[in-house]
Structure 1
């Protein structure tokens, strides 16, 4: 019985933590990280500042936790990719999964794009750079020629560009995501075919 109650408390805590993260990233996006206070986050949540402190002591703690939670799928993908052969199917699956990860973490990536100085200052940028390097390692054949290596890396950044620079494009969001994914898939396919010929 005690175990069930502990689990329920943890779930409630987890839900509150998630609500804090959601509200915080919303406020950070609306008015910027620097201009958002813990008091404003607590007010938007309709909780006391003390209740907020129970979960997070600082804005930085909130942001770091959002980053860790929303980018965990990237770490999972890197771990999976390291165990796979460097086949075209593997590369396509990496790109497909990365596209899904970006879609699931869109608010965080928009925040990172619009608050680059804050991201660098809080070292989230360095961690993100390390994750991008991990993705590059599982996507790029080290023996491929430079053009094909650039194609693979460009496939990753095509997904980023689709998220940030095609927002104003008149099209269904899912259709845009699919079009961007198709272009990224073409790039890894061309890179793989180029490597296969070499």
Structure 2
């Protein structure tokens, strides 16, 4: 790697490290690019040379973190047991355990999903295709096993599950709930949702 490229990569990593800490301690909205640059000890122009926007910085912070989560999901998913609702509960329990390591950062990630100024390259919560595919694969297996009606819209169910998951984090923001407490609430919600996507019995 050339010296110039090495320096650019070092700057990029300093920006990501600084942004991760600021997003977690101050929140996404309150953090400015100028503050990120100051914390990273780089010029503001250097930040914009590397990233198009603050939203892109958050997207990359989360993408780097999520590699560890995906590795865990890939390891666990083939060994999940129980009906489709139980398998979904297990998948999301892994998510809760992972994201509550940095709860405030994940809350910032969720909040950014409602920033209407984000550019098309930014990937806030909900726009990550790999995460959606993990959930959809679990649902597709449920269809194959006859636990989900073949006429169900799996993408719609994915949206509902991701909405429930994100909304459950209000308990962390409002009440300081931990992963176990949020998982317990989510498990009950999944049970209700599963009643809706179960195959309809002809009467």
Task: Tell me which interval the TM-score lies in, with the shorter structure as reference length.
Answer: 0.5 to 0.7
Query: CA 1:165–1:121 in structure 2 vs 1: closer, same or farther (change >3 Å)?
Result: farther
Q: Identify which of 64, 71, 76 aligns with 1:69.
A: 64
Higher helix proportion:
1
TM-score (norm 1): 0.60
Question: Which stretch has the larger CA shift, 73-82 or 89-98?
Answer: 73-82
Q: Identify which of 79, 97, 102 aligns with 1:100.
A: 97
Contact 1:66 1:108 in 2 (8 A): no
Counterpart in the other structure of 1:110: 107
Counterpart in the other structure of 1:173: 177
Q: CA deviation at 1:161?
A: 0.9
SS at match of 1:87: coil
TM-score (norm 2): 0.58
Counterpart in the other structure of 2:164: 158
Deviations 1:87-142 (A, max 9, x none): 34543321210112332353343223333324453331497341342132233212
Matched, 1:40 2:35: yes
Q: CA deviation at 1:41?
A: 1.8
Query: CA 1:153–1:42 in structure 2 vs 1: closer, same or farther (change >3 Å)?
Result: closer
Query: CA 1:43–1:68 in structure 2 vs 1: closer, same or farther (change >3 Å)?
Result: same
Contact 2:110 2:124 in 1 (8 A): no
For structure 1, list consecutive stretches of 5 or more residues without a partner in the other structure: 1-11
Q: CA deviation at 1:184?
A: 2.0
Counterpart in the other structure of 1:58: 51
User: Superposition RMSD on alpha carbons, in Å?
Assistant: 4.4
Counterpart in the other structure of 1:9: none
